[in-house]
Amino acid sequence: SIAPPMRSEYQRFVELSNKGARELGFADTGAMWRSKYDMPPAAFAVEVDRLWGQVRPLYDQLHCYVRRRLNQKYGDAVVPASGPIPAHLLGNMWAQAWSNIYDQVAPAGADPGFDLDAALKAKGVDAKQMVKYGENFFTSLGFAPLPETFWERSQFTKPRDREVVCHASAWDIDQVDDLRIKMCIESTGEDFRTIHHELGHNFYQRAYNHQPPLFRDSANDGFHEGIGDTIALSITPRYLKGLGLIAAEPDASKDTGLLLRMALDKIAFLPFGLLIDQWRWKVFSGEITPANYNAAWWDLKLKYQGVVPPVERSEADFDPGAKYHVPGNTPYTRYF
């Protein structure tokens, strides 16, 4: 396990980060992060709660449905018919997006009518071609193609000779047009969508390169995350047919499957997108102390996502450290 050794370093990091935030006039690092939304930091926390209350009923329904299907599959001893779902059965290491268990939970006869993983494999689409498809979406909207340096300097595949951070990211090196992505692309539907997410960052960055430096960032960090995700919603069966990746557009009878698959990613993500910073805001404010880092993490996992760990956890563990953005110190409410 890679996270436990981070625990003491993370504790020290929190102290130093807060020191810096206080020198800049903020109460702590969490307050500094919450200060960027055109309202007082406290008002932002209230707004986030309000939004969660608005979408929570939809999440609760999905959670209830998925639990029922997993209960049928695994039985009462593994997935009780009521209460939380064991986090390891949701098809994702962090239980943050659940479409990998689509086949396990779909109602009988509800296939989405196409399989992007299979289509990409069948066509032998490689990493660079995956990125080309993404670029083509943006150029079809009227944006200029990416510069040659993007193709030369990006990392598309996992190097064979060294360890790298594979978590996808987008970079604006010179604030002009030295744009790059860093990914370990596999030819899957998930990575096809993530490429659109990352290119959303790059095209956004370049679109602002004539602004004065202070205006080159997005209005707030949520906009930066939202561009590519919004674009990726356009990866519909019709669009894929247009690209020649699938042979035919499924008829409307396949909509249930399509929408369930989408919900397993997008609706399931909502409480996850929220809880990471609910934990960090309290860590930075001191309300969560190192003595209860891990217990507080799982309290929030239970409260928001309704999931429990597969095995008993203790303060010898540091489960938040397994999520890229925690050691990377990237704010997370932006994704919510």
CB 206 → Zn ion: shortest distance, Å? 15
Give, as ranges, the residues between 149 and 168 that touch ligand X8Z (CB under 6 A).
Answer: 168
Distance separating alpha carbons of residues 251 and 138, to the nearest angstrom:
27
Q: Are strands 179-182 and 169-172 parallel, antiparallel or unpaired?
A: antiparallel
167 is annotated as an active-site residue: yes
The answer to whether the beta carbons of residues 193 and 232 sit under 8 Å apart is yes
135 is annotated as an active-site residue: no
Give, as ranges, the residues between 185 and 204 that touch ligand X8Z (CB under 6 A).
Answer: 194, 197
Residue 86 φ then ψ, to 5°:
-60, 125
168 is annotated as an active-site residue: yes
CB within 8 A of 153, min separation 6: which ones? 173, 178, 180
301 contributes a contact to ligand X8Z by CB under 6 A: no
Distance separating alpha carbons of residues 282 and 97, to the nearest angstrom:
24
186 is annotated as an active-site residue: no
Give, as ranges, the residues between 94 and 113 that touch Zn ion (CB under 5 A).
Answer: none
Q: Which region, judged by CB under 5 A, interacts with Zn ion, from 50-58, 96-104, 217-225, 276-284?
A: 217-225
Residue 169 near which of Zn ion, ligand X8Z, none (CB within 5-8 Å, type-dependent): ligand X8Z
208 is annotated as an active-site residue: no
125 contributes a contact to ligand X8Z by CB under 6 A: no
Catalytic residue among 110, 127, 196, 201: 201
- The nearer residue to Zn ion, 225 or 317, going by C-beta atoms, is 225
H helices present in 106-233, as ranges: 116-123, 127-140, 148-153, 189-207, 221-232
- The nearer residue to ligand X8Z, 169 or 220, going by C-beta atoms, is 169
The answer to whether the beta carbons of residues 208 and 214 sit under 8 Å apart is no
Catalytic residue among 3, 106, 168, 322: 168
Mask of contacts with Zn ion, 224-263, x by CB under 5 A?
-x--------------------------------------
CB 322 → ligand X8Z: shortest distance, Å? 11
Catalytic residue among 133, 197, 204, 304: 197
| Radius of gyration of the CA atoms of the chain, in A | 21
What long-range pairs does 276-282 form, CB within 8 A, spacing at least 24? Answer: 276/320, 276/323, 276/325, 276/326, 276/332, 276/333, 277/30, 277/33, 277/331, 277/332, 277/333, 278/304, 279/320, 280/30, 280/326, 280/332, 281/30, 281/33, 281/34, 281/45, 282/30
169 contributes a contact to ligand X8Z by CB under 6 A: yes
CB within 8 A of 63, min separation 6: which ones? 85, 305, 306
CB 335 → ligand X8Z: shortest distance, Å? 4
335 contributes a contact to ligand X8Z by CB under 6 A: yes
For the chain, the farthest-separated pair of C-alpha atoms sits apart, in whole angstroms, at 60
- The nearer residue to ligand X8Z, 169 or 218, going by C-beta atoms, is 169
335 is annotated as an active-site residue: yes
- Name the residue number minimizing CB distance to ligand X8Z: 168
Which residues does residue 155 pair with via DSSP β-bridges, in sequence order?
Answer: 182
Q: Which residues bind Zn ion (CB under 5 A)?
A: 225
Q: What are the catalytic residues?
A: 167-168, 197-198, 201, 225, 325, 335
